[in-house]
Amino acid sequence: MILNPKMFGKINLVAIKGLRSRYAIALYELAEDYINAQIPKVSIDNFREFIGVEQNQYPKFSMLKKHVIDVALKEINDSENISFTLSYELTKKANNCYNKSI
């Protein structure tokens, strides 16, 4: 990180202080890394890993979406201390697995 600081986003501690959910904080930090760029599509398993959701937590995607993804996005988008808005798009693969693009 010291050798290549442009590789990482700047974290606004005031913004993080205003977030209640650990998933919102993780998602905010991920989004900061991709400021001015589109976050690449990732699988649900990779998304879980990025934000720290264990495989046995919220085993159904609908539960993950309702209790983690949507809550974290709302918290970030409602924050007065964060200057960007996040959204996502679900895509289905041929084998009925979802990919997540944030």
Position 1 scores a pLDDT of 45
User: What domains can be seen in the chain, in order of their start residue?
Assistant: 5-101 (1.10.10.10)
To 10 degrees, what angle do helices 22-33 and 70-78 make?
70
Q: What is the pLDDT along the chain (102 residues), one digit of tens a residue?
A: 445 555 455 666 667 888 999 999 999 888 888 877 777 788 889 999 989 999 899 999 999 999 999 999 999 999 998 888 999 888 877 555 555 555
pLDDT reported for residue 84: 87
pLDDT at residue 53, as a whole number: 93
The structure's pTM equals 0.74
Q: Which tokens go with 10?
A: 């700047």
Please report the DSSP string for 8-43 in residue order.
SPPP-HHHHHT---HHHHHHHHHHHHTTTSPPPPEE
Contact 48, 64 (CB under 8 A): yes
Contact 1, 8 (CB under 8 A): yes
DSSP single-letter state for residue 93: -
